[in-house]
Structure 1
């Protein structure tokens, strides 16, 4: 495998995870632990991985390449939303009995996608930008500081924008702030747990680059 192959795999995986998360995010679910009740959306299962991959892209390939992949994800999400809207508007066949179910689930996707697009652009670009700027200022050491520092900024922006655009009005009062806070804490906890994975992937891709230069 070459560094170009690795970049392609990471980029495709990044976009795929974003699209799946957009659809999964149409469902809210709650978990009760004792007296506490936590509200999540389905996108929480997969979306944090996009930040891990975003960190890898920015750290190994630089801000320009990371931005290109982010814009690819943006374009794919716009296309998906457009297709869902067109399919929803087309008259259902007489044999098709699931139009209401389709609208109930995927009919909400355009709002989710709008929220995701805004949050995605703000959060991911801030994440990549902050990571690169920390590296430029303090050097290549302490990768964990760059990973966490950039993620705190990016995830905070992403969570606030997404939750506000996607579910403000659907969730109100304490439930809305529960959703925002739980989402941010969950994503950051996920990021911390996956730091060893980020280290492994970054080191592996860099070794591929070193072998390519020697060859």
Structure 2
């Protein structure tokens, strides 16, 4: 939904979008998130129940504030300006900014911000520390378990790698956490190499 000029009203316990005073649309018929449509109708239902004079001023203020918050979300979804008619006070406010009629006619387009330089030095330092910690912990734990059962040690190593894999995969694109993800992945690989080398270097058991 990329239209502007709508007004948010609450009528008979239902939220409606009104345009040109005679064009009334249920929000559920537009391409809006289901959660927003449900929240709009819930707000309209509460506002209708609170229209009696016995409703406390504090409750009326909360209902008005909730409606304004939903109007802000609605303006963000539509990409334009939304009129918000307070069902309790009758006040009409404009929420959001109207879209320019001809956005292609700007003489001086705003340049895109330049990409920030990658902090290789601090990032690799963090990765190295995380890799060292991960390697030491895995090697110490695995060798301790290997004294009990080699199969148990192998299973624990595979479980640790499988547990970290989703976090490493997701964190590789996050500016700060990617260095932690790189260090963790490197630490797991280094620990496996160290354990394999230790197995090759161990003397064969006596006959």
TM-score normalised by L of structure 2: 0.27
Greater relative contact order structure (CA < 8 Å, 6+ sep): 1
| TM-score, normalising length: structure 1 | 0.26
Bigger helix share? 1
